[in-house]
Amino acid sequence: MLWRVNDTHTLEQFWESRYAESSHIWSGRVNKTFADVVSGLPPGRALDLGCGEGGDVIWLALRGWQVTGVDVSSTALDRAAEAAARSGVTDGRIQWLIHDLASWTGDDSYDLVSASFFHSPVEIPRAQILSRAAGHVTPGGHLLIVSHADFPPWATGPATDEHRFLTPTEELDQLDLDPVEWDVRIAETRTRETTGPDGQAAVLDDGVVLLRRR
């Protein structure tokens, strides 16, 4: 099943309504593809775009990262903060910020800027947001984008016929970053095993783009 989108909803209204549907939307666990890639990076300062209920942020903080999580939904961030407290992250390793990333700029630099499944049924200037976020990566730091490569097998509805997710190569083309300044470390599709909403086993495809700033 796919979400029904009211065309009059703002981005904030849509996601607040979406989070109001249930006590939690996401699993609370880090995405395996994200964890596999980041596990090879030394901890530092990280920025997670569209962090939702905070699964990736908490995972980073528990592994020594100083993390800023940004999301448009205050409900999601309230849940993320509660989850972080339950996980034992109590030493100020996480900062939660409520912002619409279409207008947020920020002024800090990070060793890792990440965006996991940064998709929205309400249209956002996604390529612009990600390209601008790349400017926050410190020299020697990384930009990581993990995206859906296809719909999950349990998804139904017209959107599955109308929408096509970007390939890693197309993601790089949209970012349009200076190749003199950036090294492409990963640009590929990876598979991972997961469990669907009704407990069914499934294999999903993730697009992975990892760049290192020189």
Residue 94 has a pLDDT of: 97
For 145, the 3-state DSSP assignment is: strand
Does any domain span residue 24? no
Using CA atoms, how far residue 106 sits from 100, 136, 154, 193, 200, in Å, is 12, 8, 37, 36, 41
User: What average pLDDT does this structure show over 168-189?
Assistant: 97
Q: Residue 86: which CATH number?
A: 3.40.50.150
46 within domain boundaries: yes
pLDDT of residue 31: 87
Report the percent of the chain where pLDDT is more than 90.
65
Q: What would the two tokens of residue 170 be?
A: 């197309």
- The answer to whether position 64 is within a domain reads yes
Does 33 reside within a domain? yes
The CA-based dihedral angle spanning residues 63, 64, 70, 74, taken in that order and rounded to the nearest 10 degrees: 70
24 has pLDDT over 80? no
The domain in which residue 203 lies consists of 29-213
CB contact set of 103 (below 8 Å; sequence gap of 6+)? none
Coil vs helix vs strand at 46: strand
pLDDT of residue 1: 33
Q: Which of residues 149 and 186 earns the better pLDDT score?
A: 186
| pLDDT tens figures, 157-176 | 555 556 678 999 999 999 99
Q: What contacts 131, CB < 8 A, 6 or more positions away?
A: 174, 175, 176, 177
b/e burial code for range 22-36 (CB count within 10 A of at least 16 → b):
eeebbebebbebbee
Per the domain annotation, does 77 fall within a domain? yes
Query: Does residue 25 or residue 32 have the better pLDDT?
Result: 32
Mean pLDDT score across all residues of the chain:
88
**How many structural domains is the chain composed of?**
1
Confidence (pTM): 0.88
16 occurs within a structural domain: no
Please report whether residue 6 resides in a domain: no
- pLDDT exceeds 80 at position 213: yes
**68 in any annotated domain:** yes
Q: What share of the chain is helix, strand, coil (3-state, %, to 5)?
A: 30, 30, 45
pLDDT number for residue 159: 55
